[in-house]
Every structure is written in structure tokens, then in C-alpha cells.
Amino acid sequence: MTPRRLLVGLSAAQLAAAVTGLGVALRRGRSWDIRQPWLNWPVLHGAPEQIGRDWLWSGTAYSAPAWVLAGELWAIRNLAAGPDDGARRMLGMLGVLMAPGYLAERYVRGHLRPGGWDPVETPVVAALIGLSAAMGVLGHRAQAGR
């Protein structure tokens, strides 16, 4: 498998995990929440009753915002169609930004702690972090765009 095809596959799997995460977040009311214990800023979280609206601009605990996922889909399609250095760079950038972004989420951190296992949410969290990190690494290799 060529590095470009591998990046396309990893990115498509990450996008599928994000769409799955969106469904889980909507069903379970997991709005975005990046509050940290040492920061008491009330603007660092969404409201569960506004999760459908917030997803468009801010995302959920388990998915990036709609506009980010649309950009990811665009880059995947362009790279799948043929060599595209811009699409490769975009996927690399998204992976580098999304992996720590998921780790900033309160619900995600809860599933990574002892006793935080959930048979639905924890596998989604693991897939999101792992696939985003792999996408970030591979997307920064020039041969993945060819």
C-alpha cells in the first residue's frame, strides 16, 4: 500500500470515527467541555441542550465541528483522486490539531482514567485519538502526497 493510500484510509477511518462520535455525543448529551481544574472560565464548555447547534461551530466531546469535518472530507476526496500536496498537508494539520483537542475534552479524559471504561464511548475515544495522531504523523510526510 502506498503512503498516499494509507493516509487516505487512515483519514477516512478517522472521519468515520468522528461521525460515530457525533452520534454517540448527540444520543448521550456529551457537549464539548474543555474546562481544566485549574481554570475557572465558564465559557469553556457547551450546553447539552444546545449540542445540535454547538456541533456546527464548536463540535461535541467526540467530534470536531461540522466545518472541520467537511474540510477533512474535501481533503480525503482530493487525495484519493490523485496526488495532492495541499490535501496531504491539510490532513496532517487536522490530525495534529485534533489529537490533543480530543485529549482536552473532559469526557475523553474521563474514559482514559482507571474506572472510566464504557463499552460504547471508550472505543470511540481510543479510535479518535489514535487515528488522529496517525493521520497527523503520516500527513506530514511528503511521500504521502504522491
> Model confidence over 90-116: pLDDT tens digits?
999 999 999 999 999 999 999 999 999
Q: Is the pLDDT of residue 45 over 90?
A: no
Placement of cell 482514559 in the chain = 112
Residue 13: exposure state from Cβ atoms within 10 A (0-12, 13-18, ≥19)? middle
What pLDDT was estimated at residue 27? 96
Number of structural domains in the chain = 1
- Residue 34 · residue 45 · CB < 8 Å: yes
User: What pTM did the predictor assign?
Assistant: 0.93
Q: Is the pLDDT of residue 39 over 80?
A: no
Rounded to whole angstroms, how far apart are CA atoms 119 and 70?
A: 28
Domain of 53, in residue numbers: 3-36+43-145
Rounded to whole angstroms, how far apart are CA atoms 143 and 118?
A: 38
